[in-house]
Amino acid sequence: MKRIAFITGTRAEWGLLSPVAKALAATAGVEVKIIATNMHLMPRYGNTVDEIVADGFDVAERVPMDETDGSELQTVDVMAQCLRGMAEAFDRLKPDRVVILGDRFEMLSAATAALMMRIPIIHIAGGETTLGAIDDSIRHAITQMSSLHLTATEPYRQRVIAMGASPERVINTGAIGVYNALNEPLMSREELAASVGMAFERPTLLVTYHAATADDRSPLEQFRALLDALDRHKEADVLITYPNNDPRGGGLVELIERWVASNNRRAVGIPSLGKTRYLSALRYVDAVVGNSSSGIVEVPSMHIPTVNIGTRQQGRIAGESVIHCGVTADEIDRAITYALSDEGKEKARSASNPYYQPDTLGIMVKAIADSL
């Protein structure tokens, strides 16, 4: 029996990993263990560890981390917490492989612990570029630590190979988030409306904004500009989710809560939608606004526009339904106006998604199982 440990720190991350973990758990000779950390264990972010349990998994290890105040020093401190906690968890579980998705700072701690304990790492979503976030450097560092690479597009596969990985150990699987978006059983409009407290009868924007950690401009000032732009679109309701527990993100949640309170007739703030509510919302909103990777990767397959703000996703491959804009209120306002226009909607309806492959889940599961 081979034991695989999946590391997860956020709701979005688990939403991507859960079908892979489920499929591997049903594979003969494979035992799946879940290690939860960071925002999964924080009440402020919805205690989303409960979603892992609801998906049918026991959480084998919980590695707590303090919530950051947004400062770089405290971020390094919580990374050290995570590094020690992951090492202790690995020592108890003794996994044969560790699965890590993406590029968050807690994943760098987990990868470092696995590397030093000689546990092979399977890395999902390497080779991507996001010049406006320190995640870019973290992602490439994890690539160098990993032994198997599952990339979302062929150009990303080629970048990982150019970084020195053996071509036979780098597999273009497509993006698992796109597979989930197209295959997840979704809620009806009425079920979602009752769950989040929003009718979805008027034009609706789904907003997710995170601190651009490699941008010298203030995340709070950029977010205030986004709120200013939203104030210019009284015709639209706004469903806004909380940002990640990231460096330089201090104060964003408080801004969201104040803005929602002053716009409570048309705005709802949710710490975490979870996978099913989030993917369901993509069926009923008119556009996605912010700087989350989901707007680049998954949303185009829903054939609605994405307004991608600022530099956080700069360098990532994007389809034609993605509207890139700057960080001023005027620039964001113009992009939202286009997204809600007939022209913007029609362009999104006809656009293809460069992250789509027809059997992403099957390719991923086979690649991981074959590596054991």
Are 308 and 261 in a shared domain? yes
Global pTM value: 0.90
Are 267 and 167 in a shared domain? no
Q: Is residue 245 assigned to a domain?
A: yes
Please give the pLDDT value at position 71. Answer: 83
Please give the pLDDT value at position 281. Answer: 97
The residue whose two tokens read 């360098």 is 315
The percent of residues above 70 in pLDDT, for the chain, comes to 99
Are 223 and 310 in a shared domain? yes
Q: Is residue 365 assigned to a domain?
A: yes
Please give the pLDDT value at position 45. Answer: 81
- pLDDT (tens digit, 9 = 90+) per residue, 269-301? 999 898 899 999 999 999 999 999 999 999 999
Do the beta carbons of residue 184 and residue 276 sit within 8 Å? yes
- pLDDT (tens digit, 9 = 90+) per residue, 312-356? 999 999 999 999 999 999 999 999 999 999 999 999 999 999 999
**Nearest-angstrom CA–CA distance, 180 and 18:** 9
Using pLDDT thresholds of 50, 70 and 90, give the confidence band for residue 156: very high
Q: Is residue 196 assigned to a domain?
A: yes
User: What 3 state SS string does 206-270 have?
Assistant: EEECCCCCCCCCCHHHHHHHHHHHHHCCCCCEEEEECCCCCCCCCCHHHHHHHHHHHCCCCEEEE
Are 23 and 112 in a shared domain? yes
- Does 249 score more than 80 pLDDT? no
Q: Is residue 271 assigned to a domain?
A: yes
Q: Which of 300, 316, 313 is nearest to 353 (CA)?
A: 300
Instruction: Give the residue numbers spanning the domain of 103.
Output: 2-174+357-371
Are 269 and 247 in a shared domain? yes
Are 216 and 339 in a shared domain? yes
Count of structural domains, the chain: 2
Mean pLDDT of 23-40: 97
Mean pLDDT of 115-139: 95
Are 82 and 118 in a shared domain? yes
Are 109 and 29 in a shared domain? yes
- Does 246 score more than 80 pLDDT? no
Are 363 and 341 in a shared domain? no
Please give the pLDDT value at position 332. Answer: 98
Please give the pLDDT value at position 338. Answer: 98
Question: Which residues pair with residue 124 across a beta bridge?
Answer: 101, 150
- pLDDT (tens digit, 9 = 90+) per residue, 180-215? 999 999 999 999 999 999 999 999 999 999 988 878
Q: Is residue 179 assigned to a domain?
A: no
Are 127 and 228 in a shared domain? no
Are 102 and 143 in a shared domain? yes
Q: Which CATH number does the domain housing residue 268 bear? A: 3.40.50.2000
Q: Is residue 42 assigned to a domain?
A: yes
Are 90 and 139 in a shared domain? yes
